[in-house]
Amino acid sequence: MAEIIQKDGTWTFDGDAVRIVPGRDKGVGLLRQTLGEVVVPLRALAGVSYEPGRKTGRLRLKLRDGADPLLQVTGGRLPEASDPYRLTVEADRTGVAEYFVDEVRNALLLDQVDPGPADVYLLPGPAVPITVAAGDGTVAFDGDRVALDWNWTTEEAKSSGGPREFRITDLRTVEWSPSKGLDNGWIRFTLAGAPAAPAPKYDPYTVELFGFKKDPLMALVAAAVAVRMPHPRGTSAPAEAATVRSAAPVPELAASAPEPTAPEDHDALLRRLRELGDLHQGGILTAEEFAAAKQAVLRRF
């Protein structure tokens, strides 16, 4: 098992999943604190990297496109402080961070995880029910129904129609955009068959965001809704396992993990060694990656 503990948070890798627990440092954003513990199964990973710096380094997980509903709805636009897949590492823990990277990379190689896009969500998304008040309104989602309510900052053209409520089955899309510069952000719900939406400040199915502290929390609402809708790359409804999210992710991981198997025989391990050798000779693996992966296989004999 590999583990790195920092003020920014704690990452643990047990060979099957990376468990991320946010820290309590002032640099930990409100989104990460609210999201809480995240368990990323190995099959959801596309890679891992460590970026050393003069004072602190950065440990980063790269997830497969489409594997995580939060990354799907935010599209790489989350601020660093809100990114759950980034960990600030003190300079004296560089060796631990590099060891963590090696362990995850070895596991990805040995399990031959496909780093390409996923056509189903592999993470369950934020817990529900969830309610967030930010910008000109409040969004509440219980796993089935979305409710929108307005406050004193809402344009009369929007608030005059009163609160809105609709079921997730009525939705065509949910979109989130952060505030940037002088441009406000928004979370927009588009109902099936609806005409083109007006500007966010006038749209009764959009909450406009003004760039304040709680704005990123609307991304959690968007992710909780998105994971219960058909996957954008898939053709079917969301998997049953993704429709209900408890606050504790450990039982879900256990339910989705394969049952323990008997130790691999020597022939299977020898085949893996030959495959690694072919990858090294073909220039796909560097000498260092090949040596590390080979040692990991040898330890399993």
Which string of DSSP letters, residue by residue, matches 172-238?
A: EEEEEE--BTTB-EEEEEEETT------TTT-TTEEEE-S-TTTTHHHHHHHHHHTTS--TT-SSPP
Q: How many CB atoms lie within 10 A of CB 62?
A: 13
**pLDDT exceeds cutoff 90 at 267:** no
Q: Which residue has the higher pLDDT, 246 or 85?
A: 85
In this prediction, residues 61-74 reach a mean pLDDT of 96
Q: Taking residues 154-176, report their average pLDDT.
A: 95
Q: What is the DSSP string of 226-279?
A: HTTS--TT-SSPPPGGGS---S--HHHHHHHSPPP-PPPPHHHHHHHHHHHHHH
In this structure, how many other beta carbons lie within 10 angstroms of the beta carbon of residue 23?
Answer: 17
**Burial code of 170-202, b = ≥16 C-beta within 10 A, e = fewer?**
ebeebebbbbeeeebbbbbbbeeeeeebeebbe
- Please give the residue that has the higher pLDDT: either 91 or 243: 91
Global confidence as pTM:
0.77
CB of 245 closer than 8 Å to CB of 35 = no
Residue range 25-33: mean pLDDT, rounded:
90
Q: What is the pLDDT, as a whole number, of residue 291?
A: 76
| Contacts with 256 (C-beta within 8 Å, 6 or more apart), sequence order | 41, 241
78 secondary structure, DSSP code: -
Q: How far apart are CA 73 and CA 51, in angstroms?
A: 26
User: Which two structure tokens, joined as six digits, stand for 37?
Assistant: 């513990």
Q: Which of 58-72, 112-126, 154-168, 224-238 has the lowest mean pLDDT?
A: 224-238
**pLDDT for residue 45:** 97
How high is the pLDDT of residue 293? 74
Residue 136 near residue 208 (C-beta atoms within 8 A): yes
Within a 10 A sphere around the Cβ of 259, how many other Cβ atoms? 4
Of 49-63, 164-178, 205-219, 223-237, least confident by mean pLDDT is 223-237
Structure tokens that stand for 21 in this block:
């627990």
Report, as an integer, the average pLDDT of 187-205.
93
Q: Is the pLDDT of residue 255 over 90?
A: no
> Region 74-88: what's the mean pLDDT?
92
Does the pLDDT value for residue 66 go beyond 90?
yes
pLDDT at 299 over 70: no
Residue 275 has pLDDT above 50, yes or no: yes
CA separation for the pair 69, 33 (Å, rounded): 18
Residue carrying structure tokens 């299977």: 268
